[in-house]
Amino acid sequence: MSEGNGRIRTVFGSGSFDNDAVKLAKDALAKRLVTDRERFRTIDDLHAFIASRGNELLITMPRPMRVDDPDKEIDALFSELVGETKRKATVAMNIHELDDTFQSLCSKGKAEISRRVPIPFLTNRDFVASYAFRNGVQNFVRSFAFGEDAREAESRASRFAFEGSLIMRHPESVGGKAKVIIVSASLSTIKTRVVESALSPMFEDFEISFITNEHVPSYAREVEQQAH
């Protein structure tokens, strides 16, 4: 699966889709394919799986075809249709620990994956939470790799802070008191730590909890203990 959405942007235009929502949908699909891989025994199993998906992704129904070299031809087809080169990893490994925690909680009915949250006064935009859970109040968690570009990171962080503060100040829009948490998924480098340090005061001023890279593992354990 492609890491970026460049192909979608090229074909349909940058304003035709919600980049964050598509990324979350792709991540959820990839995890589901891994989790359910033992269930795919027949073409009917694939048809049933595709029919059960109802989000930003439309999966083409599989059709049988004859090929001489499956591995080579599949790689060539991927390159032709997706056409994206591999990029340097930008997401920290410990974010996978947080994701594993939420996947486990989701299987127990204690959390949700990829939750769209309405933003008060902004009728055409939702806050796309990577995860949601309850521990007495609603918690909407958004993980994001802010990277090393301070200007770009500040722009994205200010949007999260503004949207999150509206949600928390108007609990009636989400059915009760809510808390918004932003988790840094950036690789831990000197530059990303500097960026995180610069973002922290802004999030604090908006009363948004900001989990920096080094605190992700401890936050994952906290969520596991508190979610119900």
d(CA 190, CA 138): 33
Question: Per mean pLDDT, which of 12-16, 37-41, 62-66, 106-110 is the most reliable?
Answer: 106-110
Positive or negative torsion for Cα 76, 79, 81, 82: positive
Contact (Cβ atoms closer than 8 angstroms) between residue 166 and residue 208: no
Read off the tokens for 6: 């460049």
Domains and CATH numbers, the chain: 6-81 (no CATH), 94-226 (3.40.1350)
How much is the pTM? 0.65
DSSP code for 210 = E
Three-class SS string for 69-89? CHHHHHHHHHHHHCCCCCCCC
User: What would the mean pLDDT of 21-50 be, rounded to a whole number?
Assistant: 77
- Strand order in 111-119's β-sheet? 111-119, 122-134, 138-144, 178-184, 209-211
Residue 168 has pLDDT above 90, yes or no: yes
The mean pLDDT of the chain is 83
Contact predicate 143/95, CB 8 Å: yes
Of 28-37, 80-89, 130-139, 185-194, the range with the lowest mean pLDDT is 80-89
What is the C-alpha to C-alpha distance for residues 134 and 1, in angstroms, rounded to an integer? 32
Task: Cite the beta strand spans of 185-219 per DSSP E.
Answer: 209-211
**What average pLDDT does this structure show over 171-200?**
92
Q: Which two tokens stand for residue 3?
A: 């890491």
Tokens of 23: 């990324």
Q: Using CA of residue 49, residue 28, residue 30, residue 80, what is the dihedral sign?
A: positive
Q: DSSP secondary structure string, 22-40?
A: HHHHHHHHHHHHHHTGGG-
pLDDT at 225: 95
Kindly report, residue by residue over 64-112, the tens digit of the pLDDT. 777 777 777 777 777 666 665 544 455 556 788 898 899 999 999 999 9
Tokens describing residue 104? 């486990």
Give percent of the chain above pLDDT 70: 82
